[in-house]
Structure 1
Amino acid sequence: MMLRQGAEPVIVVAGELNVDVIVSGKDVMPEWNREKMVDGFEIVLGSSSAITACALASLGADVRFIGVVGDDDFGTFCTSELQRMGVNTDHVTRLANIKTGVTLSLSTPDDRGLLTYAGSIPLLTPDYIPETLLKQAAHLHFGSYYLQDGMRPHWTALFTRLRATGISTSFDTGWDVSNEWDREGICSLLAATDLFIPSEDELLHIFAADEVAHVLSSMLPAVTGRVAVKQGSRGAIMRTLDGSTVSGKAYNLAPVDTTGAGDCFNAGIIYGYLVGQRDEELLQFANACGALSTLGIGGTGSLPTMEAVLHLQAGHEQMR
């Protein structure tokens, strides 16, 4: 694949910010009135939107982040980490008397469980999104649909307006802790979305279905974009513009930590899409980005680069 030459497109990520406190090991499940020893402990930049932004910057994109944090040490940490990893934070707002969100991640080599204190996470609203920045954008992405309470009623109108001016759009849902799933809101937004990027579990909960294939073939509303469903160690599946589906196999790597793998997959889908990849080629690029992220601790511990992706694709077998 030949990548487009010249200036990189501006990608705007509008999203939540929080720190991840990661406790890692083979057995990290707490037990009441018991103490356990674990293998690792890290405090790192968290949030789906932020990890995707950092992975996009690592791939070479010009990324501008819009978000809010508390006026506290964790807020400083979030913005400093974004800047360190090449993400522009001119439009991250610090809010007085607010605590920055925190997620406790209990992580094993195979999976993870999350406990989150919301803090500043749901406080982004359209008031914080400058029109001058949107006019520079080629693409707008957000993660964590269910956590961003302040933006949830506004995404559809914003996406519709952006697409009318030629700006492409994407979003990821994350888990709905309220277990309501807002199928109506998701379906409305799909009509204005170029790339919908849920996990398999999320998609099946949104549409109350047992099989991804059934959702992709007959349960989606009239969508105008692609739907890429992350399936962990089984890779990913995509519904294309003509309604057909293509699959991409996962890469056979030994994971260190799966935190942020889906968010790096998101970055791969977005970046690949903007440089002209489509369908199976696009899925494989995104799968490589997700796989590389599992080789370090935390969502930004092993960010994909173009060199690493191309090396992985050339030299490693995918899972059968």
Structure 2
Amino acid sequence: MTVAGTAGATALDCALLGLHTRAVSLVGQDALGDYMVTTLETAGVDCACIGRSGRAQTSATILPVRPNGERPALHVPGTAAEFTLEPAAFDAVLDARILHLGGTGLLRSFDGAPSLALLRAARERGLVTTLDLIQATPEIAPTVAAMLPFVDWFIPSIEEARELTGAPTPEAAARALQAKGAANVVLTLGGEGVLALTAGGQVLRLPAHDIAVVDTTGCGDCFTAGVITGLHHGWPLEETLRFANAAAALVAMGLGSQGKLHSFAETRRAMQDLPLRS
């Protein structure tokens, strides 16, 4: 059992990496909802903005992890399909320096105009905005495109970027997403590492760590948490991406969405000690 997803896991990972984190979500009035809130609170996450629904179960996924670390998914949308935010909640949600929006693609009530309204409000208040998806399809591409002008850091996987753009290479996909409005684009490339395209046009590519992969569940979510941590500390981009790579590697070395991720200090050590792929 693990708190997972491009919102839940990222929130938990941010807390493990030392950030003051508030989670905004909707869970059911069930044991899974209890588990999610208790796990987040134990890690230090502020759960005051997590609502409860009596109409649907907590969103959940079963992952039969394969020996090579791949994980096909059996998913029930549950409360994720009901989640939305009214503007009256924005004061509490946007009481932050960085707003991360995760889950786009499966948030049936929040994708589209409600997400766009939140991102607009975050931009007006001067927050740094980051975005990750849970599902990328040609059907969701127009929804994502409308959001990108209000996104400072878009952090999809290369597979998601290809679905959204049809571009043949990582750099071409990053440029296509930037052309749609994203200020900075960071693509996770799995075992090939990461490629970043900055607002100033800099292209930076870093390798992944050479590790024994146990389970890739949550690697992208933790990578995003690493990027958010670097943004919080004001690190140079290369240092931020190296830290995010190390955080993702620690997740891949164990089971579940947190794997062997435990703390900021251990992740900094892993950033120096874990070997890189050639």
Interval containing the TM-score (normalised by the shorter chain)? over 0.9
Question: 3-state SS of the aligned residue for 1:86?
Answer: coil
Match of 2:207 in 1: 249
Q: How has the CA–CA distance of structure 1 residues 217 and 142 changed in structure 2, closer, same or farther, with 3 Å as cutoff?
A: closer
Amino acid at match of 1:249: P
Q: 1:119 to 1:128 in 2, by over 3 A?
A: farther
- Deviations along 1:6-39, one digit per CA (max 9) or x if unpaired, are xxxxxxxxxxxxxxxxxxxxxxxxxxxxxxxxxx
Structure 2 residue matching 1:144: 3-state secondary structure: strand
Question: SS in structure 2 opposite 1:143?
Answer: strand
Q: Tell me the matched-pair count.
A: 276
Distance 1:216 1:134 in 2: 29
Query: Does the CA-based 8 Å contact 2:174-2:187 persist in structure 1?
Result: no
Q: Kindly, what percent of the aligned residue pairs are identical? A: 26
What secondary structure is seen at the aligned counterpart in 2 of 1:215?
helix
The residue aligned with 1:162 is 122
- Asked if structure 2 preserves the Cα contact closer than 8 Å seen for 1:64 and 1:88, the reply is yes
TM norm structure 1: 0.81
The answer to whether the aligner puts 1:138 opposite 2:97 as a matched pair is yes
Distance 2:88 2:257 in 1: 25
Runs of at least 5 residues in structure 1 that lack an aligned partner in the other structure: 1-42
Q: In the alignment, is residue 111 of structure 1 matched against residue 85 of structure 2?
A: no
Q: Give the one of 218, 227, 239 matched to 2:197.
A: 239
The answer on whether the counterparts of 2:6 and 2:133 sit within 8 Å (CA) in structure 1 is no
Counterpart of 1:201 in structure 2 is 159
- Which residue matches 1:258? 216
**8 Å contact 1:293–1:304 — kept in the other structure?**
no
Change (3 A) 1:192 1:219: closer
The 3-state SS of whatever aligns with 2:50 is strand
TM-superposed deviation, 1:157? 2.4
Q: Larger % of helix: which?
A: 2
CA distance in 2, matches of 1:143, 1:163: 17
Is 1:319 equivalent to 2:255 in the alignment? Answer: no
Corresponding residue of 1:188: 146
Q: Is the 1:65–1:89 Cα contact (8 Å) retained in structure 2?
A: yes
What does the per-residue CA deviation read over 1:161-203, in whole Å, with 9 as the maximum and x for residues that have no partner?
2112111111101224xx4342222122111111101000000
Deviations 1:239-268 (A, max 9, x none): 111123101211112122111011000100
Look up the match of 2:132.
172
Once the two structures are superposed, residues 127-167 of structure 1 have per-residue CA deviations (whole angstroms, 9 ceiling, x without a partner) of: 39723313521111121210111111222222122112111
* More strand, by proportion: 1
AA aligned to 1:141 is H
